[in-house]
Amino acid sequence: MKDGTKERSILLQSATDDSETKNGLSVRFIKHQDGNAIFNLSFPEDIAPFVKNLFENGASLVTWLMTQNRVDKAVTKAHDPIAKKEQEEVFRKHSERILSKFDLFAASELTQRQAIRKTMEFFKEKGSDLTCYAIELMVNDRKRMRRKNEA
Residue of 116, 145, 112 lying closest to 131 (CA atoms): 116
| List of residues 6+ apart from 25 with CB closer than 8 A | 42, 43, 44
Q: Spell out the per-residue pLDDT of the chain, length 151, in tens.
A: 344 444 444 444 444 444 445 567 787 878 888 878 888 888 888 888 888 888 888 888 889 999 999 999 888 888 888 888 998 999 999 999 999 999 999 998 888 899 999 999 999 999 988 899 999 999 988 888 888 777 6
Q: What is the pTM of this model?
A: 0.47
